[in-house]
A and B are shown apart, each in its own frame.
Chain A
Amino acid sequence: MGRITGAREPLSHTFGMSERRIGRAAFLSVVGIGGLGLLAGDRISSLFSGPLGAAGSVVPQGLKDILPIGGWRIYAINPPWPEFHPAHYRLEVTGHVRNPVSLSWDDLMNLPTARQTTDFHCVTGWTVGGVRWQGVRLQTIWDMVEPLPEARYANFVSLEQPYVDTLSLRQTTLPEVMLAHHMDGAPLTRAHGAPVRLVIPEMYGYKNVKWLTRIELVTELVPGFWEVNRYGVDAWVGRSNGY
């Protein structure tokens, strides 16, 4: 079959054959390409992001929740993801407020809706540009519950226990902060924190609490889940991630 069978004689020509260190060259090439990628990878990939982004917009959301299409990665800490039951869902706003409330899904949908298109940045280095959010501004909630003068921080508690993160009251009314219930024109999916997630584009994703169930106004700073695990309480997206 064209194979060498009685291959005793090639022994003679193994001597004097010019050997080249191609293995080392291949190894160094791979390391070199990796190094180049670290220096310029985001610029190289942005060359393709136009056509890829266009392709991504026709992919159904169901598929996007399975494969990393459109740039999203889904991070969670306690399986399985919380499930949303419209009939039983409540968003409680409690703590140092004059009028604690417990909002149903319908209550939330009847509040004034704000819209924005903002980028989403993860602290592990990925970014999703131009996410279209729809939701309720925190000021609308504060007008209802009336925070007491001593309230200084808001803890955002997730249905996914024990996930919680915190903002100062001042941060909650920055122009692009909202409780989002729609993303890219459709109700928030389970993967993205249905029915409501906090959106604060100025800060990394770990501040953007998913599966929100309770907002608690407190007087002292309580570090959030990842902040207890060494992430910075200061989560401002810096010049990194191109923000």
Chain B
Amino acid sequence: MRRFSRAERTAHWVVAVTFLVMTATGLILYLPMFASLAADRMLWKSLHIGAAIAFWAGLVAVVAVSPRSLGRTASQLDRFDDDDRAWLAWAVRRRGAEPPAGRFNAGQKLNSAVIAGLAVVFTVSGVLILLQETDKTFRGVTSAILVHDWATWVAVPLVAGHIYLATINASTRHSLRGITLGTVRREWARRHHPKWEAECD
């Protein structure tokens, strides 16, 4: 079954690759442990900022090429029906049957919304840190670096969990095929996204 369009996959990998580069370079800039191994601050800083620019440029380019397709995806991620709300309660309590999911389950929807919010938080706080280095007028916002750190502590576990489910966890990792090759097995879809599988007939 066709799971993700070319535009969706491109958008995903633009975000994934740039996020990983920013995480790696960011940790080098942040953790003394890595600072001793790779102390060239100028290099890691320009890679970090370069990846941030690539993130936005890539995302704008993909959306500009396929605005309607990606708009539809965003709308699917945005809307939670009764089953999705029941799914969230089920995910917390882990009792009874898993409420049926559509194309995305409520966890995937929430994850994408939080990551999108964090992208804005990272960008605003990051630009402020950059401006503060050279321009006194921005130094009034004394919490920019703190907010950038906090966002890291939220984003890194979220993405680590996402990667775990997509590559290691046996029952879900078939989804990796959907985001790389674009298709998934019908039987996997029926088990994890039954309402979507039924609609695709």
Whether the Cβ atoms of B31 and A14 lie closer than 8 Å is no
Provide the bound-state CA to CA distance between A96 and B124, in Å. Answer: 47
Closest to B101 in A: A4
Distance (Å) between the CB of A155 and the closest chain B CB?
Answer: 20
Binds A, one of B4-12, B62-70, B142-150, B160-168: B142-150
Provide the bound-state CA to CA distance between A129 and B99, in Å. Answer: 52
Distance (Å) between the CB of B174 and the closest chain A CB?
Answer: 15
Provide the bound-state CA to CA distance between A96 and B39, in Å. Answer: 33
Whether the Cβ atoms of A38 and B145 lie closer than 8 Å is no
Distance (Å) between the CB of A62 and the closest chain B CB?
Answer: 11
B157: chain A residues within 8 A (beta carbon): none
Whether the Cβ atoms of B195 and A7 lie closer than 8 Å is yes
Whether the Cβ atoms of B120 and A67 lie closer than 8 Å is no
B31: chain A residues within 8 A (beta carbon): 66-68
Closest to B32 in A: A74
A23 in contact with B112 given A4-B194, A11-B195, A66-B31 (CB within 8 Å): yes
Provide the bound-state CA to CA distance between A40 and B150, in Å. Answer: 13
Provide the bound-state CA to CA distance between A241 and B109, in Å. Answer: 38
Would you give the 0/1 interface string for B182-201, flagging 1 where the beta carbon is closer than 8 Å to chain A? 00000000110011011100
A22 in contact with B194 given A2-B96, A66-B32, A126-B145 (CB within 8 Å): no
Distance (Å) between the CB of A48 and the closest chain B CB?
Answer: 11
Provide the bound-state CA to CA distance between A52 and B33, in Å. Answer: 20
Whether the Cβ atoms of A11 and B199 lie closer than 8 Å is yes
A38 in contact with B144 given A125-B129, A238-B136 (CB within 8 Å): yes
B194: chain A residues within 8 A (beta carbon): 4, 7, 10
Whether the Cβ atoms of B80 and A73 lie closer than 8 Å is no
A81 in contact with B36 given A17-B83, A67-B31, A126-B145 (CB within 8 Å): yes
A19 CB contact (under 8 Å) in B79, B120, B134, B136: B79
Closest to B120 in A: A31
B57: chain A residues within 8 A (beta carbon): none
B191: chain A residues within 8 A (beta carbon): 3, 5
Distance (Å) between the CB of B193 and the closest chain A CB?
Answer: 9
Provide the bound-state CA to CA distance between A14 and B81, in Å. Answer: 8
B41: chain A residues within 8 A (beta carbon): 75-77
- Tell me if A24 counts as interface (CB < 8 A to partner B): yes
A68 CB contact (under 8 Å) in B32, B77, B98: B32
Closest to A20 in B: B80
Whether the Cβ atoms of A242 and B134 lie closer than 8 Å is no
A81 in contact with B39 given A26-B117, A66-B32 (CB within 8 Å): yes
Whether the Cβ atoms of A23 and B80 lie closer than 8 Å is yes
Would you give the 0/1 interface string for B69-81, flagging 1 where the beta carbon is closer than 8 Å to chain A? 0000000011111
Distance (Å) between the CB of A81 and the closest chain B CB?
Answer: 6
- Tell me if A110 counts as interface (CB < 8 A to partner B): no
Distance (Å) between the CB of B122 and the closest chain A CB?
Answer: 8
Whether the Cβ atoms of B30 and A73 lie closer than 8 Å is yes
Known: A22-B110, A23-B109. 20 other contacts (CB 8 A): A3-B191, A7-B194, A10-B195, A11-B198, A17-B81, A17-B83, A23-B112, A30-B117, A33-B121, A34-B118, A34-B147, A37-B150, A41-B146, A65-B32, A65-B36, A77-B41, A79-B37, A124-B129, A125-B142, A241-B139
- List 6 A-B pairs, Cβ < 8 Å: A23-B112, A27-B117, A28-B117, A38-B125, A64-B32, A65-B36
